Amino acid sequence: MKAAVIQFPGSNCDRDTVHVLADVKRIQTDLVWHNDFKDGSYDAVILPGGFSFGDHLRAGAIAAHSPAMKTICHMAKEGKPVLGICNGFQILIETGLLPGSLLRNASLKFVCKWVDLRIENTSSAFTSAFDKNSRAWMPIAHNEGRFFGEDDLLEQLEADGRVVMRYVGENPTGTSRGIVAVSNEEGNVVGMMPHPERASDLALGGTDGLKVFQSMVDWIQC
């Protein structure tokens, strides 16, 4: 099993993600510069959090045109697991692999805190290790992470089971219907604003994030 973590200008959670995959889950993992990612033979790919290209235009908009995204789109069509975390989620939306929009937080402030989540869908490549409706404790850290969609889209996502996670109780960013993670129709592409790599070690405050990566392993081995 071999995974790739894509590094963009401004990525700041790339090495954290590599650490969890390589040192905790013992998965062969390469950190690949975005311009150099042309090998679609990897079993899975993760777009980590950060601020790609400084996000000067719009979060994820420039990175969506990176050469790496051609390879990632091809991998997604093949059914391989593709995970976008925070800025990675923004990139997947800008690329068109996931629906909706990610807007500035309702408070217009950067929000960094641990949040209570409910797992809505356990059939995706990154949530199968969870029990449905179980709770997870992970941190968020973003300025433009307010998932937004028109009512028709939100209702369709809910009907199709493509809402993966929601806030429980407090909605600190004002995201539509508390949604913080969604998937594509096949379930192999997932974008999430919470940071599972920062919730994969007790020293950091919790290990619920490990189930995200275990789900990926289970999906590949099935």
How far apart CA 183 and CA 53 sit, in angstroms, is: 25
Q: Which of 13, 86, 94, 144 is catalytic?
A: 86
Is-catalytic flag, 112?
A: no
How far apart CA 141 and CA 130 sit, in angstroms, is: 23
Is-catalytic flag, 195?
A: yes
Question: Does the CA dihedral 157-158-164-168 come out positive or negative?
Answer: positive
Q: Is 40 exposed, middle or buried (0-12, 13-18, 19+ CB in 10 A)?
A: middle
Q: Which of 94, 120, 144, 197 is catalytic?
A: 197
Closest CA to 207 of 218, 216, 196: 196
Compute the half-sphere exposure of residue 200: CA atoms within 13 Å on the CB side of its CA: 21
Q: Annotated active-site positions, please?
A: 86, 195, 197
